[in-house]
Amino acid sequence: MTTRQPLYPGTFYHIYNRGNNHQPVFFERRDYALFLERCPRFIDPVAEVFAYCLLPNHFHLLVRIREEDTLLPVLEQKDKPFKPAVRTLPDFISDQFSNLFNSFTRTMNNRHDRDGNLFKRPFQRVEVGSDSYLIQLVCYIHFNPQKHGLIENFRKWRFSSYPALLSAAATRLQRAAVLEWFGGLEAFRAVHEGGMQDGGLGELTLEG
């Protein structure tokens, strides 16, 4: 059994996973919408989301785990009484992501007359250790649909955070922070353009 790596407060992570046995995880448009609708319920209490992309058989999320002083009241409310020796804070954080994927799986199984695991277990997580990597990862996540030949222009993929980060409409994404990493809206757009011209940021070699 694979041991899952802890998710620590105040840390950025690339969270990603694919379908069990390489099967699809999103079968139709409403499935993508459901996943995005479920995210706030499970993820908002423990993490901020900066970028995402959903594809037919896998997904990518860039998140920052909330600080410990924010997480502890949430944990104590859900687990009364909270017993650190039994369930640690990193366990609670990981469980929130797992609960999202399990909730989504149950709906997909009912909706599409299937059973069993939808996603590989455990879900994948990579700590993001530098500001330059954050910028590279945002672009990598947004380029994925074009990289995999799902669409000719990544900007037109409906299930990516790229349009929301360019928009002025209300969003749960940490838009201001992402744009600041790039040096503003126009720089954000320009770096994405340049990344595709250079082959889609080939330095980043991640599964999916």
Task: Kindly report the three-state secondary structure assignment for every residue of 25-39.
Answer: CCCCHHHHHHHHHHH
Using the predicted structure, report yes or no on whether residue 2 has a pLDDT greater than 90.
no
- Give the number of other CB atoms < 10 A from CB of residue 33: 14
Domain 12-197 is classified in which CATH homologous superfamily? Transposase IS200-like (3.30.70.1290)
Name the band, by pLDDT with cuts 50, 70 and 90, for residue 77. confident
Residue 86: what pLDDT? 52
Counted residue by residue, the chain has a size of: 208
Q: How far apart are CA 48 and CA 30, in angstroms?
A: 24
Average pLDDT over residues 127-148: 94
Residue 208: what pLDDT? 41
pTM score, whole prediction:
0.90
What is the domain partition of the chain in residue ranges?
Answer: 12-197
